[in-house]
Structure 1
């Protein structure tokens, strides 16, 4: 049975409030995460990826390229999910220059937003 479309999809609108809750260099805002990311970034990235609802070992694929594709895509995913302003160029630069800082920023954002972050298919009943 075909149901009529009652509402058209809306474009993602950004507001002034749609910024990261903390800067890329604000790692000291959460010293526990900062230390974990500094001493064992792969472990921290895997844990953060799992909390976001992705495969636990997904960040380990970053070791196979000069541009860390998983770190960059996770940053883009979080930015898009929460409606945070930004662009792919900035995501790429931050991911290449300081992956631990990116993972810390993602973790802080998830904690501060306290929104469900599990991504996946919509279940139809």
Structure 2
């Protein structure tokens, strides 16, 4: 008995794969005093700072009311902690001494800077070569 093996030809089509380009940097995307980069956020922080910090803490993944604890002392522990956490999460260079100084003396500007950074880091992936067919 003869067993014939039929071989069929199959065409394999490879679809183009998206390429990820990371815009990550080891620096902050904007400076402490670059509030004009996002005027609505800056105005919101100026007019209702407590609401602004609570909303941003929640968006960052922390407890909504956590920033309210900052009003209990000289050095704002929550602002400093979230800033250090953000530096570590995004790989931003810096040190705790600088974080402590800016969190203490430029608290609103620090929160605005962190808000801008969260917005910028959410736009990390760009698809290149993708076509709408």
Question: Structure 1 length normalisation: TM-score?
Answer: 0.77
Deviation (angstroms), 1:115: 6.6
Alpha-carbon distance in 2 for matches of 1:45, 1:36: 10
User: How many residues are treated as equivalent by the alignment?
Assistant: 100
> What are structure 2's unaligned runs of at least 5 residues?
1-24, 125-133
Higher relative contact order (CA 8 A, sep 6+): 2
Aligned to 1:81, which of 82, 86, 89? 89
Question: Structure 2 length normalisation: TM-score?
Answer: 0.73
Deviations 1:49-87 (A, max 9, x none): 000000000000001111000000010011110000000
Distance 1:52 1:115, change over 3 A: farther
Which structure: larger Rg? 2
List 4+ stretches of structure 1 deviating above 3 A: none
Instruction: Give the aligned partner of residue 52 of structure 1.
Output: 60
